[in-house]
Chains A and B, each alone.
Chain A
């Protein structure tokens, strides 16, 4: 529950002390309703954290606060001024070519080669001059991913980025994301509804309830690599129970 107990498990010895973001005592209210209350969170660079929770538990509110899109009512966020975000929708600029979308915010001269490289990484290197409207949903989301990673962010926020994709595309995206993150190693916070996705991708899974982190699970590598592994089965069962999907009585 507290943010102090998970500095022992180090999956990436190289980046142990390099924090991607630290949140302490975060509070966020909408009018009378308190959405986030006393939330603590630490994400290291290279660490992939998935955030699960029922709808309306404050997941997206937390992500928006971390992204700097919403003000906070109390507590501290120590992290990069500008984390990169991939939203549920690709949010590509329809009047810009793919490379200009990826290079958004960069000077064109520096941005173009960077965008070219980033688009090659997501398998769209031959289409840098194409327009977003010619892309499928999965391709568009790959461009959004390239746009996030080209900034080499210390913290990457993923707001259910695979939720709108069909099942096959989602599997391909999962593989691509793992491969890309292994290379770029930002700290990642993935908001998702999908327990299997969380187990597959994350090093750590947090469950959020009543505006705070209710529990914190470490994902063993064998569970991530084999969904039929007993450790994966057990984790899945516990997470589902905690999310109220499986009635325990």
Chain B
């Protein structure tokens, strides 16, 4: 109360430093709590509406029902095996597309010849939204594993490629010069100066590629699959099991959050030397 009076009686001071007023009303701690309480309240509201019958279970089942379904499916052994199948596809596609993008990006980043050979073609293929290739992928691979892994690889390749090239091009030329006057071999120069220098950019690409990988997987599994989270969702659609569908959506979201957290952890670990990253994330 006296605080409010003070504020009113000192308009000049408020005008001088308006930015400092806001955080004083609520400390960072309370703001943090609010940021978590808000979505939690939303969840409770959802639960309440579902229980009261305002929300039909066909449209949106209660969160508790979804949790119950998850436990049942785990009990039957289906959920974990489907989750495993999805993770395996994503990992395989990520490794294949990621290594290809990294190797190509490294070559093009270094060599004018490699750039002339590959860059235009890669950029042309990149112009195609990779999901547009989906019908072709189904023709090529059918509903087997290959198509899904292919689609994920395709989605992952470009962000990694582009960020690797960019990262290598942005390496401080003064450090490259230092490498030369120190008599480093090409390999040592790459290992000690070029790649670490390109790493912030490459990791940004990895983070983006992870999101793309999930998107590709969701699409591929939803179109055609016998196993995996997407197929679980499609089976559930046949029988109007909305709870299972919601569960799969939540799982996709969860995996997205986890993979992003892993990517960020990687950044913080590998870029500890970097003032921008060391300062972040307490």
Residues of A within 8 A of B (CB): 67-69, 81-85, 87, 89, 91, 93-96, 104-105, 131, 133, 147, 151
Contacts and interface: CB of A to CB of B under 8 A. Distances in A.
A208 B166 CA distance: 41
B180 interface: yes
A94 B200 CA distance: 13
B44 interface: no
Contacts of A133: 273, 275
A93 B174 contact: no
A101 B134 CA distance: 49
Contacts of A96: 192, 196, 273
Contacts of B273: 94-96, 131, 133
Interface string B169-207: 000001101111111100010001100110100000000
B167 to A, nearest CB: 13
A83 B181 CA distance: 7
B274 interface: yes
A104 B174 contact: no
Contact of A69 (B180, B188, B274): B180
A95 B197 CA distance: 8
Nearest to B196: A95
Nearest to A151: B182
Contact of A104 (B192, B196, B197, B199): B192
B180 A68 contact: yes
A83 B183 CA distance: 9
Nearest to B271: A95
Contacts of A95: 196-197, 199, 271, 273-274
Top 8 closest A-B pairs, CB basis?
A: A95-B273, A82-B183, A85-B181, A91-B178, A95-B196, A105-B182, A67-B181, A91-B174
18 contacts: A67-B181, A68-B181, A69-B180, A69-B181, A82-B182, A87-B178, A91-B175, A93-B192, A93-B193, A93-B196, A95-B273, A96-B273, A104-B182, A105-B184, A131-B273, A133-B273, A147-B182, A151-B182
Given A87-B174, A133-B275, 14 more contacts: A67-B181, A68-B181, A69-B177, A89-B174, A91-B178, A93-B192, A93-B193, A94-B273, A104-B179, A104-B182, A104-B192, A105-B183, A105-B184, A133-B273
Interface centre among B179, B180, B181, B188 (most CB of A within 10 A): B181
Nearest to B200: A95
Contacts of B175: 91, 93
Contacts, number: 50
A244 B131 CA distance: 70
Interface of A is mostly: loop
A151 B182 CA distance: 9
Interface string B66-98: 000000000000000000000000000000000
Contacts of B271: 95
B55 to A, nearest CB: 53
A17 to B, nearest CB: 26
A82 B177 CA distance: 13
A96 B182 CA distance: 15
A170 to B, nearest CB: 21
A67 B174 CA distance: 14
A84 B183 CA distance: 9
Nearest to A89: B174
A105 B196 CA distance: 16
Nearest to B181: A85
Interface centre among B182, B193, B199 (most CB of A within 10 A): B182
Nearest to B183: A82
Contacts of A147: 182
A237 B273 CA distance: 48
Contacts of B199: 95
B193 to A, nearest CB: 6
Interface string B194-232: 001101000000000000000000000000000000000
A18 B241 CA distance: 89
Contacts of B197: 95
A29 B275 CA distance: 41
A89 B177 CA distance: 12
A95 to B, nearest CB: 4
Nearest to B185: A105
Given A93-B175, A133-B273, A82 B188 contact: no
A67 B181 CA distance: 6
